[in-house]
Chain A
Amino acid sequence: DAKTTQPPSMDCAEGRAANLPCNHSTISGNEYVYWYRQIHSQGPQYIIHGLKNNETNEMASLIITEDRKSSTLILPHATLRDTAVYYCIVGPSGAGSYQLTFGKGTKLSVIP
């Protein structure tokens, strides 16, 4: 079973920041938080991942709480092309453990 809880859906106005929350209260010390998204009819796309520090790349920022029990993915300026299902996934930590367990994700709709 997925170790994460996400809201089933969210709306965001185009040009505004999209903040997608994720709860992972049972995360273990060596597990990472990964975010992927799946645009309709495409394979999932890797966005970002982190262990305990906040991370930023060209696509998004990842904010992880100090206790690591929750995180937020931030898309700073959402566009219509960001409409997708966003998956928050705990693990893998490497060392042979690379399988992903997908939950239901959050369906983000970016509205003009």
Chain B
Amino acid sequence: SAVISQKPSRDICQRGTSLTIQCQVDSQVTMMFWYRQQPGQSLTLIATANQGSEATYESGFVIDKFPISRPNLTFSTLTVSNMSPEDSSIYLCSVVGGGTEAFFGQGTRLTVV
């Protein structure tokens, strides 16, 4: 299994600002993903973070709103841009290593006021 550290664990932000969330893994991993969990809802995949190239976004998510970086095989960032209260959610980093099972960080709980 992989140990995933997400920072910050929670934040309260003003609308119109941006927040960058960091995901650090203790080993090199093949795949990294970002998910969103809106209040009371299940998880929704935002994008696949590709090492050395642009992220692959799911329907309904765009790069201008959720820019993602993945400079190496152990680190990725997700930025939530120009935030509104509707962006209040838990954002989760997930990785897949040697097998097909996924491992998740503890999430970043974002509140936009």
Interface residues of A (CB under 8 A from B): 32, 34, 36, 41-46, 49, 87, 92-94, 98-105
Tally the A-B contacts, defined by beta carbons under 8 Å: 50
The dominant DSSP class at the A interface is loop
- Of the candidates A43, A44, A45, A99, the one whose C-beta lies within 8 Å of that of B45 is A99
Whether B100 and A104, one on each chain, are in contact in the complex, defined by CB atoms closer than 8 angstroms, is no
Minimum CB distance partner of B93 in chain A: A43
Whether B45 and A101, one on each chain, are in contact in the complex, defined by CB atoms closer than 8 angstroms, is yes
B 81-111 binary contact with A (CB < 8 Å = 1; else 0): 0000000000010101000111111110100
- Of the candidates B30, B43, B96, B105, the one whose C-beta lies within 8 Å of that of A102 is B43
Q: How many angstroms between the C-alpha atoms of A94 and B102 in the bound complex?
A: 11
Whether B45 and A100, one on each chain, are in contact in the complex, defined by CB atoms closer than 8 angstroms, is yes
B-side interface residues, number (CB < 8 Å):
22
Whether A99 and B44, one on each chain, are in contact in the complex, defined by CB atoms closer than 8 angstroms, is no
By a CB distance below 8 angstroms, the chain A residues around B96 are 98
Q: How many angstroms between the C-alpha atoms of A43 and B44 in the bound complex?
A: 13
By a CB distance below 8 angstroms, the chain B residues around A94 are 100
